[in-house]
Structure 1
């Protein structure tokens, strides 16, 4: 695992798993909801992200069940994953705050405006 910035899909997958364990399709739906429809994960992309996150120790399989003759695997965030997500959220927030402050100082954003 590296401390490099997370790609948006990876960040959103971790975010989806922060609240409760979810199976793949539920992760896809939650990412779509959290991103206001901007990020539409395809199954292949999702499972590549999930495999990488598991290998890095950021998520783990909580349980498996068979639904309509198909294996449904539920993933959950590990303590390391929660720390990584929190660190990334802090990094993004600091960057957004710095951009907003500069825009306000340049008069390109109202003083009360959010950026």
Structure 2
């Protein structure tokens, strides 16, 4: 009901501006629907073009996400290499299962923090070809912003602990 009222209001404004003669209500709804969707689409395009993503808006990162991005910082890796690297970087504290890794990778791809790369004609060996992933510029900026955030937390904790110990 609310959506219909909004469309009716929109239609009345359009009709008053354009001096459109009265028409059938269903036609009015169709016109309003088209105008509404075109307007929303234009606003989305303007927002995407005018706003570069702020790395801070992605924070805080979960521990697995942080380690996945950190694993990709030196260069491209395939899924299994990411899993092994995350286990090593976290001193075996974060042990990703295949489903957890690829769920996180899918989310990071959607957020454009990482990208899927073509293997460039490398021989994948037996089995299915491996998919390689790399950090995007945005992903690198988000990782750096998270490191700054964590450093700030550690600095504040050290100051507080010194106050308590003094």
Separation (CA, whole Å) in 1 of partners of 2:89 and 2:165: 31
Q: Which residue of 2 aligns with 1:51?
A: 106
TM-score between both structures, scaled by the size of structure 1: 0.87
> Hey, which of these two has a bigger chunk of helix by percent?
2
5+ unaligned residues in a row in structure 2: which ranges?
Answer: 1-52
- Would the alpha carbon gap of residues 3 and 69 (structure 1) be closer, same or farther in structure 2, given more than 3 Å must change? closer
User: Which one has the largest radius of gyration?
Assistant: 2
Q: Which residue of 1 aligns with 2:128?
A: 70
Question: Does residue 1:100 correspond to 2:158, yes or no?
Answer: yes
Q: Aligned residue pairs: how many?
A: 108
Separation (CA, whole Å) in 2 of partners of 1:67 and 1:55: 29
Separation (CA, whole Å) in 1 of partners of 2:164 and 2:87: 34
TM-score between both structures, scaled by the size of structure 2: 0.62
5+ unaligned residues in a row in structure 1: which ranges?
Answer: 109-115
Task: Please state how far the C-alpha of 1:63 moved relative to its aligned partner.
Answer: 2.1
Q: CA RMSD in A?
A: 1.5
